[in-house]
Structure 1
Amino acid sequence: MDKQVQNFAVANLRRRPDVVETGGFVAGFAVGTDSPYLNYATPLPGTAPTPADVAALVGAFRERGLLPRLEFAPQAAPLVAGALRAAGFETEAVHEYLVCTPHTYTDPLPGGHHPRVETPATDAEFRALDAALAEAFGGAFAASAEGAARLRRLGEDGGEVRFVRAGDGGCAGGATCSPPAEDTAELAGVGTRPAHRRRGVAAAVTAALTSAMFERGAGSVWLEYSGASSRGTYTRVGYRPGGTRLYVSLPD
C-alpha cells in the first residue's frame, strides 16, 4: 500500500496550479497562502536523490519564500529520508495511515441513527464549514474567504465535501476527500466543533465520504489520524493500518 499511497501523493500534487518537478521530487504550491500544509513536496517512488537534487528542491521553495517541506511514505522511497537529513531536514512527525476498502467498510452507526450528512452548495455553507474546521482544529488555521473558496474548488475539481448542520443552522463539523487517483483517495480534515463532539458527526461524515468514493469506483480510501479517540472512529468505519508517512522540513 505504501507505493500506491505515494503514487497518489505525486498525482495529487501534480494537480496544483504551480508545480515543480526536479531531481525525482514533485513540489506543489497553492495560490494565496504560505501555509506549509498546502505547500510541500513529495518524492517519486524509488527515487535516489543526490545532494544537487535536494538543493534544487530547496531552491524552488526558497525562491517562493516558503519553508522547504515534504510529506511521503518512506518505505516507498527508502533512500530519500537519509538524503534529506544529510541536507539538514528535520522530522516534524511520523503518522500512521489507515486504509479502508469496500471489503472492510462497515456502517459505524447502524439502525439509521446517523446525523444528517449534507453536501455544501451555497457560499454561506462553505463559509460555515471552513469556520467549523478552523475551530475544530484549535486555531491551527484561521477561517477565511480563501479557505471557503478552497473547499468549493475541491468539490468542483472532482473531490467530495460533506458536513453536518448544527441545530442553529450553522455547521457542526465536516470533512473532505480528494479526487481519486491511482485507484485510491485521501480523506482529510475530519473535524467537529467541540460543542458537537461525541454525537457521531465525525463517524457520519467519514462513512459518507468513504462510501461516496467507493461508489465512484475507488479501490480504497486512506487517511491519517491525530489520536486514539479519532482512530477508534475510523476503525469503526472499517479503516485498518496501512503504513506510515513521514513529515520533514528544513529550518531557516
Structure 2
Amino acid sequence: MTSEDLELLLDRLESYYDAVPRNGARAEDFGPLTLFVREGAGWPFYARPTRGGSGAVTAADVARVRSRQRELGIPESFEWVAESAPTLRAAAEEAGLVVREHPLMVLDATVSVPAADKLSDGPSIRTVAPDDPALASALVVPHLAFAEPGTGVGQAGLPELAEAVRTRAGDGSVESAVARIEAGLTTVAAAVEDGTALCAGQHQPVGTVSEIVGVGTLPAARRRGLGLAVTAALVADARSRGVETVFLSAGDEDVARIYGRLGFHRVATALIAEPE
C-alpha cells in the first residue's frame, strides 16, 4: 500500500468513525473533540477528534470533555487513530489518562475468507435474527469475554453467562439490538450451542465500510476457533451487503495474529484513553 493509498484509507475510516455513533447518539461539540452520548440502551460511546477539525488537541480540551462525561455519568473514554490525530496522545496523558494501543487491521479485499463452518467444530455459526432466542446471550457474552482478556481458557462459563443474561433482562439492550438489526445498522453473528451463544460479535455497515466489533468468546469456551469462525461469518455478511472495506481493532498482538489468518493486516494503531 502506497502512502497515498494509506492516507485515503485512513480518511475513509475517519468518515466512518464519525458517522457510526450518530445513528444512536447525540454529538456534543468541544472544538477539536466531539463527545458522543448514547441515547438508549447499548454500549456507551466515547469522545474522539472532531471530523474536519484542526487536529490540535490540548490537555485542557481533554479535561473539558472529561468533566462533561463525569457530569453525565458515562465512561471517561476517548478513542482515535494515532496516525490521524497525532497530538491527542500527549494531551490525553497530560490530562491524566492512560493510553492503550490496539492494532488497527483491514481485510485484504482480494482474500477469500473460509466459510465459518470450516473454522470450528460443534456450535452452529450463524447471523442472529431479531427473533432468535440466542440473541440475549449473544449480546452478553462479549462482556464476560472482555472481563477476562486474553486468548487462554478462562473461568467464566455457562453458569456465569446464564446469570449475566438474567441480570441484564429488561435493560432494553435486546430491544435496542432488534431495532438496529431490523434497520440494517448492525449484524450480530454467534457460535450457538444448545440455544446459547458461546461467542458473538457484530459489524456495523455505513455505505461500503464496516467495522467488526465486540467479538468475544466465553472464557471457558476458548481455544475452539469460535472467534475466528464468528469473524468469518461477519465478513461474509458484510460482503453480501456490498461492503468493500472491512476493518477491526485487535485487542493485542496475539489477537492480531489470529485475525491475520483470515487476511486482515495492520495499517495503523487505534488508541483508547481512559482513567487508570
TM-score by length of 1: 0.81
Contact kept, 8 Å, 1:126 with 1:149, in 2: the verdict is: no
Mapped to 2, the partners of 1:173 and 1:240 lie a distance apart of 23
Contact kept, 8 Å, 1:89 with 1:248, in 2: the verdict is: no
Indicate the residue corresponding to 2:136 in structure 1.
127
Mapped to 2, the partners of 1:99 and 1:151 lie a distance apart of 25
SS of 2:206 mapped into structure 1: coil
Indicate the residue corresponding to 1:136 in structure 2.
145
Q: Deviations over 1:4-36 (max 9, x none)?
A: 323321112222333212303221112467x9x
Mapped to 2, the partners of 1:43 and 1:111 lie a distance apart of 40
Q: CA RMSD in A?
A: 3.1
Of all paired residues, the percent bearing the same amino acid is 24
Contact kept, 8 Å, 2:56 with 2:88, in 1: the verdict is: yes
Mapped to 1, the partners of 2:63 and 2:222 lie a distance apart of 45
Letter of the aligned partner of 2:243 in structure 1? A
Mapped to 2, the partners of 1:65 and 1:110 lie a distance apart of 42
Indicate the residue corresponding to 2:205 in structure 1.
179
Mapped to 1, the partners of 2:116 and 2:127 lie a distance apart of 19
Asked whether 1:203 is paired with 2:228, we answer yes
Which residue of 83, 87, 99 corresponds with 1:92? 99
Pair 54,173 (structure 1): closer, same or farther in 2 beyond 3 Å: closer
Shift, 1:65, TM fit: 2.8
Contact kept, 8 Å, 1:98 with 1:240, in 2: the verdict is: yes
Shift, 1:96, TM fit: 1.0
Pair 232,21 (structure 1): closer, same or farther in 2 beyond 3 Å: same
Indicate the residue corresponding to 2:242 in structure 1.
217
Pair 135,74 (structure 1): closer, same or farther in 2 beyond 3 Å: closer
Matches within 5 A, 1:1-252: 1-31=9-39, 38-44=44-50, 46-49=54-57, 53-86=61-94, 88-107=95-114, 116-120=124-128, 121-122=130-131, 124-138=133-147, 143=165, 144-145=168-169, 146=171, 147-157=173-183, 158-166=185-193, 168-181=194-207, 183-249=208-274
Shift, 1:134, TM fit: 3.2
Shift, 1:228, TM fit: 4.8
Contact kept, 8 Å, 1:44 with 1:77, in 2: the verdict is: no
Q: Deviations over 1:100-157 (max 9, x none)?
A: 0321342176868775322223263211213433333337995413343443343234
Mapped to 1, the partners of 2:50 and 2:76 lie a distance apart of 17
Letter of the aligned partner of 2:57 in structure 1? P
Mapped to 2, the partners of 1:96 and 1:215 lie a distance apart of 26
Pair 55,105 (structure 1): closer, same or farther in 2 beyond 3 Å: same
Shift, 1:250, TM fit: 5.3
Shift, 1:209, TM fit: 0.7
Mapped to 1, the partners of 2:70 and 2:109 lie a distance apart of 42
Shift, 1:70, TM fit: 0.7
Pair 131,62 (structure 1): closer, same or farther in 2 beyond 3 Å: closer
Contact kept, 8 Å, 1:20 with 1:60, in 2: the verdict is: no
Any stretches of 5+ residues in structure 2 without a counterpart? 1-8, 150-160
Shift, 1:43, TM fit: 0.2
Indicate the residue corresponding to 2:4 in structure 1.
none
TM-score by length of 2: 0.75
Mapped to 1, the partners of 2:40 and 2:70 lie a distance apart of 16
Mapped to 2, the partners of 1:155 and 1:9 lie a distance apart of 19
Shift, 1:217, TM fit: 1.9
Contact kept, 8 Å, 1:164 with 1:205, in 2: the verdict is: yes
